[in-house]
Structure 1
Amino acid sequence: MFRLAHISDIHLSPLPALTLRELISKRITGYINWRSNRKGSMTGGTLDTLIADLEAQKPDHIAVTGDLVNLALDEELETAQRWLKTLGDPANVSVVPGNHDAYVPGALKKTRRYWAPWMRGDREAAADRPVEFPYLRIRGDVALVGVSSARATAPFMATGDIRERQAGKLGEILDETGKLGLFRVIMIHHPPVRGAAPSHKRLLGIGLFQRTVRKHGAELVLHGHTHLATRHEIDGPDWRIPVVCVPSASQSFGGNHRPPAAFNLFSIAKTNTGWSCHMVERGIVDEQMTIRTIREHDLTVGAVLNPVL
């Protein structure tokens, strides 16, 4: 049994002080949005409470699907680096970036440098190479595949993208891990499902992503971005692949129309007939920040493939 926890959209607070130079960019719109919409509803206390409960569940691995910061300021990236160190050893925590982590041109390059230990695949880490996407980490019977949809966008836009180069490598990784008989988990920030996000926040390349997994296969896709608890499905080669989102890990109870902070816990195991994957949603349920199990599901996932020896 492999227990995988999933959190997303951390949006670490508070914001550091901004210089006038930093505000003369897209960051001015993000700063206004933070002051008007997120400052009071996304708090560190909420995040701390949620993570304490997550750690009590003793997961084998934690997947973090982006938006650790707000405006991708250098000070924010350093703060997120320190926070990741408290979350867990890089070998046990896998991160992909979100649009806020690539908020302005040049930010994603810095993000990859600051958070490299949590974003490098096994081969890159062993060879001390820079971060590459998609990356592959193998833990037990589980293949964790990190895809980056993060990119800098114009003001009032929060789109992401996946292009041919990354999709091609993703297909190769899915083939390789499929032949090994592994349970393949794809981590991406933007939802790879049509209609899951408004047009100015959507993933560009949804069709390309879906064609790739339909051809090469996967067992589970995890994403963030919408701050909602949703489940969709997309086509695999011979089965439907669950696509799961989790609310923001720092959303306070009653802070706005979105659900309060939660995490998902997946218990993954091989069976005589294929895979079993039991999903538990745990989150804040009241103003006292009580955390309980909200829902449980048995996900239908793809069949086990015989490994190539």
Structure 2
Amino acid sequence: MRLAHFSDLHILSLVGVGPRRFLNKRLSGYLNLRLKRKHVHHPSYVAAIAREVKRVAVDHVAITGDLTNLALEAEFQAVRELLERELGLAPSDVSVVPGNHDLYTRGSLRGRRFVEYLAPYVESDLPMASPLGLGVFPFVRLRGPLAIIGLSSAVPRLPFVAAGKLGASQLGALSRILAHEDVSKRTPVILLHHPVHLPRSPLKAMLEGLHDARDLAERLAGVEHGLVLHGHLHRRLRQELATTRGAMHAVGATSASLHHHDGSKMAGFNVYDFDDAGRLRGTEAHVLDDAGAFHVEKVPLGEWL
């Protein structure tokens, strides 16, 4: 079984958006976009990646958050249209989870905007979601030897804070899911936006990290093997998460719209190959180049500094 993974699309659309919508955290986000992000993030890269993912013929696609820039309705509509037009796969073959940019304000959380526009991509095979937050996480999709489990680490934050949190309710639901007979006999593939590993800097961990990362690691301690897929860092890298029964691979995807001179950050997607027993047999990065072509290379070992 082949699983593709990309992240951090950062699709921007201001169609129909009045100035009053920027009287909150969006103002700092918009200024950052105009001064910096617009020069390095290219929507055309996302479309090229979606088409290439479809061309290489994978069995499932995981997208780990920050699909939008400012969590505006027009952005979510643009994301959905891109998935339908360029990726062109059935929603049952695509799993998405939100990032901090997708719940950028409290209004986007109250309005359940992510779920409103992307509900078909978060439907669960097991009705075991936490009742809090968006009410659809964790979701579970049983696909061959894999149990794909989507978590939401996205919470509205103050300006210049991009940290995530799962919360006790969602973590409890995750434990129950991992113990379910239809899940325990499969290889778990955990999807969330924020990395399970924290950076070395305590300040960076507070401002950008997953605040209950250690709690998540404890919930995964009984897993023998599996994957934890994330985005957030705009960098592709892999690490190992030790468990009491073995180890899980924690792998990050870079931003699907990012142009960067560093090959570990340049836009692209990852592909994971599993055997019939659900064992991971290969991990590769498909990296976009300036000519619009893709080349395959290894996902490098690394850590969040």
TM-score (norm 1): 0.86
Alignment partner, residue 116 of structure 1: 119
Show the counterpart of 1:305: none
Residue 266 of structure 1 corresponds to 272
Quote the residue 1:301 is aligned against: none
- In the alignment, which residue of structure 2 is the partner of 1:235? 242
Instruction: State the match for 1:294 in structure 2.
Output: 297
Corresponding residue of 1:3: 2
Offset at residue 142 of structure 1 (A): 0.9
Equivalence for 1:306? none
8 Å Cα contact 1:270-1:276 kept in structure 2 = no
Pairing 1:165–2:169 present: yes
Distance change in 2, residues 1:232/1:131 (3 Å): same
Note the residue ranges of structure 1 that are not aligned, 5 or more in a row: 298-309
* Matched AA of 2:93: N
Q: Secondary structure at the match of 2:20?
A: helix
Alignment of 1:73-152 (within 5 A): 73-86=72-85, 87=87, 88-108=89-109, 109-123=112-126, 132-152=136-156
* Mapped contact 2:237–2:299 kept (Cα < 8 A): no
Which deviates more, 197-206 or 25-34? Answer: 197-206
Aligned pair count reads 288
Alpha-carbon RMSD across the aligned residues, in angstroms, is 2.3
Whether the aligned pair in 1 keeps the contact of 2:42 and 2:257 (CA below 8 Å) is: yes
Matched, 1:201 2:200: no
Question: Structure 2: which amino acid aligns with 1:203?
Answer: L
Moved over 3 A (4+): 13-18, 177-180, 215-218
Shift of 1:15: 4.4
> Which deviates further from its counterpart, 232-241 or 261-270?
232-241
Aligned with 1:224 (options 231, 249, 254):
231
- Residue 123 (structure 1) shift: 3.7
Separation in structure 2 between the aligned mates of residue 295 and residue 244 of structure 1, nearest angstrom = 12
Rounded Cα–Cα distance in structure 2 between residues aligned with 1:292 and 1:258: 13
After superposition, give the CA deviation of every residue in 1:98-119 in whole Å (9 maximum; x if it has no partner): 0000000031311112111101
Q: Deviations over 1:178-228 (max 9, x none)?
A: 765211100000011121782311111011101100135551100000111
Quote how far apart the aligned CAs of 1:85 are: 2.1
Alpha-carbon spacing, 1:236–1:177, altered in 2? closer, same or farther (3 Å): farther
Please state how far the C-alpha of 1:40 moved relative to its aligned partner.
2.0
Amino acid aligned to 1:282 = H
CA distance 1:189–1:283, shift in 2 (3 Å): same
Amino acid at match of 2:103: A
After superposition, give the CA deviation of every residue in 1:134-153 in whole Å (9 maximum; x if it has no partner): 11010111110001001100
8 Å contact from structure 1 (residues 116, 131) kept in 2:
no
* SS of residue matched to 1:113: helix
CA spacing shift, 1:223–1:80, aligned 2, 3 Å? same
- Percent of residue pairs bearing the same amino acid type: 31
What's the counterpart of residue 303 of structure 1? none
What code does the residue aligned with 1:260 have? M
Q: Quote the Cα distance in structure 1 between the aligned partners of 2:146 and 2:227.
A: 11
Structure 1 pair 175/124, CA: closer, same or farther in 2 (3 Å)?
Answer: closer
- 2:185 aligned counterpart, secondary structure: coil
Counterpart in 1 of 2:131?
none
Cα distance between partner residues in 1 of 2:273 and 2:187: 12
Q: What residue identity is the alignment partner of 2:20?
A: R
Return the match for 2:222 from 204, 215, 220.
215
